């Protein structure tokens, strides 16, 4: 499919609040980021963190209280000087969580609808060619004459994607588009969507609370908490070097450990520090071995969970619980006494 040039996106000091009884609650509080042309950028965070509101501001579905948004170098929203471009003039495509397809229309008619709104005839040669191209791209060309409601969940998701792409937008916004699919279909659609984005070279901004989606699909990820971006980077950077306990525990599973700095380990606390610090250690970097019983401190296996190629064990040491993930099979059972092994280079300071 031919597209217009992929658009970079610049968001500067974005604010958006909503009324709540006698006050206003900040849903987006000073968000700023840049998405390069052709990049797959994900806003990741828990419910209520502001990621969907940020996306709706980008789409023009919400009007920001303050800040600037530029798409392809063109300012589409600004508080100083005041400016606001309506959604239909922003040259974007958008895929919603609910798909928002028209149940009374055929697959072809659903995809053709944005072109009709844009002024092209519903059955003009150009409309027909572009709809057929979009349907072929998402492998729905054989379903063109069916009613949209006769499609499976995965097919409806691809239909929503084709409708968003038919206008060949330089920017595509996606709000939790895979959340209604079962686990196996979600995995398949992740691969298909990422491959499609690479093939088209289109800029995509993707909203999700699913860390697996973010890690497997994104060029870069921005983690949001309480209306703010708390860390942004590549998937490898976010997983390997989390900046806080929140990021460490939200992206993958992690052991956040409190360390007491002691001179007998040859470590001294920084000037003015209390001698206590925190580190993140991923479960795959925690190794368990049967306790030798030689007086060394150890732990007790509380649970063993088989995950296929990996087995996850939860171990208690005093009041602390530590998770370990090792290649299966693991010859441990609940109640076993174990020694816990971690390398200093696998601990990320928080």
Answer yes or no: is pLDDT of 295 > 70: no
Give the integer Cα–Cα distance in Å for 261 and 267: 6
Q: What distances in angstroms separate CA 5 from CA 11, 36, 94, 290, one per listed residue?
A: 19, 12, 17, 59
Burial 89-107 (b: 16+ CB within 10 A, else e): ebbbbbbbbebebeeeebb
- pLDDT score, position 36: 97
Sheet holding 310-317, edge to edge: 287-290, 337-341, 299-306, 310-317, 320-327
Q: What is the pLDDT of residues 230-270, one digit of tens each?
A: 999 999 999 999 999 999 989 988 998 887 654 333 444 44
Range of lowest pLDDT (54-58, 261-265, 337-341) = 261-265
pLDDT in tens, 109-147: 999 988 887 777 767 888 899 899 889 888 898 999 999
Q: Which residues have C-beta within 8 Å of that of residue 93, sequence separation ≥ 6?
A: 164, 165, 167, 169, 171, 172, 173
Answer for the pair 232, 220: CB distance below 8 angstroms, yes or no: yes
Average pLDDT on 165-183 reads 88
CB 145 within 8 A of CB 106: yes
Local confidence band at 271 (pLDDT 50, 70, 90 cut-offs):
very low
- For 303-311, the CB contacts below 8 A with 24+ separation are 303/334, 304/330, 304/332, 304/333, 304/334, 310/284
User: In this predicted structure, what is the pLDDT of residue 167?
Assistant: 86
pLDDT at residue 309 is higher than 60: yes
CB atoms within 10 A of CB 266: 6
Q: Which domains does the chain have, with CATH numbers?
A: 9-250 (3.40.50.300), 255-349 (2.40.50.140)
Question: For residue 91, is it left (φ>0), alpha (ψ between -120 and 50) or beta?
Answer: left
Res 272 pLDDT > 60: no
- Alpha-carbon 143 to chain mean position: 30
**Mean pLDDT value of segment 309-328:** 92
DSSP-derived pairing of the beta strands 320-327 and 310-317: antiparallel
| DSSP calls for 149-210 | GGS-HHHHHHHHHHHHHTT--SEEEEESTTTTS-HHHHHHHHHHHHHHHHHHT-EEEEEES-
Q: Is the pLDDT of residue 326 over 50?
A: yes
What value does the CA radius of gyration of the chain take, rounded to a whole number of Å? 25
Q: What is the DSSP string of 263-308?
A: GGGT--PPTT--SEEEEEE-GGG-EEEE---SS---EEEEEEEE-S
Lowest mean pLDDT among 173-187, 222-236, 284-298: 284-298
Q: Which residue has the tokens 């005093």?
A: 318
Contacts of 236 (CB under 8 A, 6+ apart): none
Token reading at 282: 């991923």
User: Which positions ≥6 away from 101 have C-beta within 8 Å?
Assistant: 110, 148, 156, 159, 160, 163
């Amino acid at each position: 499919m031919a597209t217009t040039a992929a658009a970079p996106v610049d968001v500067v000091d974005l604010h958006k609040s909503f009324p709540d009884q006698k006050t206003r609650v900040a849903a987006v509080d000073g968000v700023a980021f840049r998405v390069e042309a052709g990049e797959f950028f994900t806003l990741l965070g828990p419910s209520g963190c502001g990621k969907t509101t940020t996306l709706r501001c980008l789409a023009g579905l919400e009007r920001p209280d303050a800040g600037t948004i530029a798409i392809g170098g063109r300012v589409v929203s600004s508080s100083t000087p005041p400016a606001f471009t309506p959604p239909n003039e922003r040259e974007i495509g958008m895929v919603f969580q609910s798909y928002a397809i028209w149940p009374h229309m055929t697959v072809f008619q659903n995809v053709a609808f944005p072109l009709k709104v844009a002024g092209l005839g519903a059955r003009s040669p150009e409309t027909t060619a572009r709809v057929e191209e979009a349907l072929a791209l998402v492998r729905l060309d054989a379903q063109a004459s069916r009613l949209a409601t006769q499609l499976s969940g995965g097919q409806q998701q691809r239909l929503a994607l084709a409708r968003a792409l038919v206008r060949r937008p330089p920017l595509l916004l996606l709000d939790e588009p895979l959340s209604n699919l079962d686990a196996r279909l979600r995995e398949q659609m992740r691969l298909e969507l990422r491959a499609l984005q690479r093939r088209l070279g289109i800029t995509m901004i993707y909203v999700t609370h699913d860390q697996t989606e973010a890690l497997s699909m994104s060029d870069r990820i921005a983690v949001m908490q309480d209306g703010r971006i708390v860390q942004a980077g590549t998937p490898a950077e976010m997983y390997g070097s989390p900046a806080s306990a929140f990021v460490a525990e939200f992206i993958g599973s992690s052991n956040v450990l409190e360390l007491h700095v002691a001179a007998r380990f040859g470590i001294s606390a920084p000037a003015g520090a209390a001698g206590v610090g925190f580190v993140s250690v991923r479960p795959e970097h925690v190794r368990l071995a049967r306790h030798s019983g030689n007086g060394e401190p150890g732990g007790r296996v509380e649970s063993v969970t088989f995950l296929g190629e990996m087995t996850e064990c939860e171990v208690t040491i005093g009041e602390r619980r530590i998770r370990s993930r090792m290649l299966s099979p693991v010859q441990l059972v609940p109640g076993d006494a174990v020694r816990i092994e971690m390398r200093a280079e696998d601990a990320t300071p928080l």
